[in-house]
């Protein structure tokens, strides 16, 4: 399977296109990562909330434990501390929920901005590139066999512009039907040139 054409202009165009695609994919991924990091910064208040709520809950629980050791009234004094600690834990949980939500949002946005550029590469550029490689590989294999060159010549007759065909011979179709070697070679070379490959035996 050929990756690049033999002829310089076509090969250069393919190489530049491939490099542009690589840069496009790299830039798209870098932008998606930057966007992810940017959105992730929205989780900072949630982390602070979780830390503050968790710390407050621990302190209140510790204070309630100490107050609970007071004889006779310890249990009644502990109840407000327990309720306050539960409220602080709820604040910490809200902070965790916010971080989780921000993380999901950051991931969804990063994937969303990658869908279009990667879709263009996977469904636009890549099929065309693979199709050229297959055609070029098949044409190169055909070019080495006499019957294959005849098929290339037939393809040139069917697909090349009339102006190019008449430059080969005034009645190029008749010359091809007669099996004129020079005409068949010229037509095969014309088809190979269209793919950016070198003609000639």
- Report the C-alpha gap between 18 and 10 in whole angstroms: 12
Residue 108 structure tokens:
């969804």
Find, among 82, 81, 99, 95, the residue nearest to 53 by Cα. Answer: 95
Q: What are 106-141's pLDDT values in tens digits?
A: 999 999 999 999 999 999 999 999 999 998 888 888
- Mean pLDDT for the chain? 85
Secondary structure E strands in 41-130: none
The pTM for the full model equals 0.71
The residue ranges of every structural domain in the chain are: 8-134, 144-201
**Three-class secondary structure of residue 187 per DSSP:** helix
Q: What is the pLDDT of residue 109?
A: 94
Q: What are 39-92's pLDDT values in tens digits?
A: 998 888 888 888 888 888 888 777 777 766 666 555 676 777 778 888 888 888
Answer whether residue 100 shows pLDDT above 70.
yes
Largest distance between two CA atoms of the chain: 119
Q: What is the pLDDT of residue 71?
A: 65
Q: What are 23-42's pLDDT values in tens digits?
A: 999 999 999 999 999 999 88
Answer whether residue 148 shows pLDDT above 80.
yes
- Report the C-alpha gap between 174 and 183 in whole angstroms: 10
């Amino acid at each position: 399977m050929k990756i690049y054409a033999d002829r310089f202009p076509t090969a250069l165009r393919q190489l530049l296109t491939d490099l542009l695609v690589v840069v496009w994919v790299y830039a798209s991924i870098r932008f998606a990562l930057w966007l992810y990091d940017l959105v992730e910064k929205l989780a900072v208040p949630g982390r602070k909330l979780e830390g503050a709520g968790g710390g407050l809950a621990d302190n209140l629980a510790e204070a309630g434990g100490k107050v609970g050791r007071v004889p006779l009234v310890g249990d009644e004094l502990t109840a407000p501390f327990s309720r306050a600690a539960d409220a602080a834990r709820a604040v910490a949980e809200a902070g965790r929920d916010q971080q989780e939500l921000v993380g999901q949002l950051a991931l969804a946005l990063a994937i969303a901005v990658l869908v279009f550029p990667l879709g263009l590469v996977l469904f636009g550029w890549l099929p065309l590139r693979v199709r050229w490689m297959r055609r070029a590989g098949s044409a190169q294999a055909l070019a080495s066999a006499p019957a294959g060159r005849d098929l290339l010549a037939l393809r040139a007759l069917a697909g090349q512009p009339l102006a190019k065909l008449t430059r080969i011979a005034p009645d190029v179709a008749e010359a091809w039907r007669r099996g004129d070697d020079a005409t068949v070679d010229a037509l095969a070379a014309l088809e190979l040139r269209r793919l950016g490959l070198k003609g000639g035996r």
